Amino acid sequence: MILNHSHTDISRNEGCTLTGALSVTCFLQDAVTVIHGPAGCTHHNASLLHASLAENDCSDIPLLVSSNVSEEEVIFGGEGALMQAIRSAESYNPSLICVISTCIADTIGDDTAAVCRERRGIPVVHIPGSGFLGGGFSDGIHNALMRLMDLSSPDISSPDDSMMIVGEKNLEYEAEENYAEVSRLLSLLEIDSGLRFVRRMPANDCSRISSARYAILRDPSLYPIGSALSSRFGTGIISGFPIGLEGSLRFLRQAGEVTGIDSYAAIRDEEGMQEDLVASFSDLRGIPVSINTSLADPGVLGAARTVMNSIGMVEEEPGIPIPLPFDPPVGTTGIRRMLQSWRRCISRA
């Protein structure tokens, strides 16, 4: 029994486990996700995904199937309804069916895993998604990645030298820009980005996860996933996306160490780019600004203050309030976007 009586906050990381799992499975191409629970769980999440994806100019709503658990299933068990939902999902001929169990399914004790294990023509993977057992949004992501990892072939006879990207935040606004920045930095070391586990990834590519020799985690909280990749397949792990100016240089150094590539020249190039960036925002030098630190992510705050110092901006009260991004700015390009938003803000003040 999980005893967690502490009050939770309402940040995304403390949100619904089911939503976290969906933020992974809905970004598998050619897969269908079955949500084993009441129709409302599916409807609510479909709305949320639709709204989040629309913000990113994507109008494709992921295909979700609900087992539509009602009072009858609660009383008599919902495994029959789940089997029916899986059959419905099979009719779309996907390469993979992901089944996410909800709070209701686990409360009444449905053996969702056993139903998923039944032999079928299409692989069916069970992802635990009931948040009442103590998990949150992040646990949903972890559960999904771990279960999808199980689909990987243990055969690593043809290793892939490109860099696998693990656990991208599919619902964040700048997911593609962040990916592009990581790819740019890797290209300085002449490393290609490989599998995006999971973002717009063909479901069949789950079998290739083991062949990736190196992987970058989206952020350090995905450590358990990195650890599993490392212990099961010997994957070399970089613990997170680069944050800010200093983080970008550290990232290049770390990627060089993991892959055995000399990173000296790449770091010199990036330092040059960062100097150019600072110079291009010299109009902000000496301007008194203020930032709201009360709810700021420490990573965001650190990256912001580093670049403020480099430019020579002055943090004082009362200064012109400047916004901080929700997620830490990824790479040198992330810092550029943050500075551009500051410049717009200051020019309007």
Task: Give the interface with another protein as residue ranges (CB under 8 A).
Answer: 71-79, 107-110
Quote the CA–CA distance of 37 and 230 in Å, as a whole number. 34
Q: For residues 115 and 212, which CB has a smaller minimum distance to another protein in the complex?
A: 115
Residue 73 or 205: the one with the smaller Cβ distance to another protein is: 73
Cβ 111 to another protein, closest distance in Å? 8
Cβ-based nearer residue to another protein, 37 or 247: 37
What is the Cα–Cα distance from 332 to 239, expressed in whole angstroms? Answer: 18
Distance CA 97, CA 112 (A): 13
Q: Which residue do the tokens 């290739």 mark?
A: 208
Least distance (Å) from another protein to the CB of residue 76? 5
212 contact partners, CB below 8 Å, separation of at least 6: 159, 160, 162, 163, 164, 194, 195, 229, 233, 235
In whole angstroms, the minimum distance from the beta carbon of 108 to another protein comes to 5
- CB nearer another protein, residue 28 or residue 69: 69
- The counts of H helices and E strands in the chain are 13, 13
* Nearest CB to another protein, comparing residues 70 and 207: 70
Task: Assess contact for 125 and 98: CB atoms under 8 A.
Answer: yes
> What is the smallest separation between the CB atom of 10 and another protein, expressed in angstroms?
28
What's the closest the beta carbon of residue 71 comes to another protein, in angstroms? 6
**How crowded is residue 306: how many other Cβ atoms within 10 Å of its Cβ?**
16
